[in-house]
Amino acid sequence: MTLHMVELTVADVARSAEWYRDVCGLTAELTDEPNGFLLFAACGNAGTRIALKRGTPPAGGGVRLHFLVPDLTAELVRLTACNIHPESDLKTSPEGYRRAAFRDPDGHAVTLFEWVRSPISG
């Protein structure tokens, strides 16, 4: 079994598409404007897609997306230049990763993270 897609309910598909394009570097694969749907191309080697569907987003977003980045500091510099800032200070976990948390325009939680030491497999 492979996770194919995560669908987010958003108030404005075009606004959210722009945010995910600019913040996460995603590229639209399919757009169905009359039905308020947009599918982004596969993210990374896992092949998972993110879809946006027009509707009323759940309070608090209801989901947290995690994006692995090779250089979190460089990503934060890039986003700061776009006037996009994390919702709190950069965090380092005991598990060995650094992360920055954001909210998309509809309140969905988005985390960018990088490993600072190799994760323990098991």
pLDDT tens-digit map of 43-90: 777 788 999 999 988 876 678 888 889 999 999 999 999 999 999 999
pLDDT band at 122 (very low <50, low <70, confident <90, very high): very low
Q: Which pLDDT band, with edges at 50, 70 and 90, does 5 fall under? A: confident
Kindly state the tokens that stand for 34.
Answer: 């009359």
**Beta strand residue intervals within the chain, DSSP E:** 5-10, 28-32, 37-40, 49-54, 64-68, 91-92, 97-103, 109-115
User: What residues does each domain of the chain span?
Assistant: 5-115
Q: Is the pLDDT of residue 29 over 70?
A: yes
What local confidence, expressed as pLDDT, does residue 2 receive? 65
pLDDT mean over 3-14 = 89
Q: How confident is the prediction for the chain on average, in pLDDT?
A: 88
Average pLDDT over residues 98-118: 90
Average pLDDT for residues 96-108, to the nearest whole number?
92
Question: CA–CA distance from 68 to each of 11, 45, 93 (Å)?
Answer: 26, 11, 14
Band (1; pLDDT cuts 50, 70, 90): very low
- CATH class of the 5-115 domain in this structure: alpha beta
Split at pLDDT 50, 70, 90, the class of 34 is very high
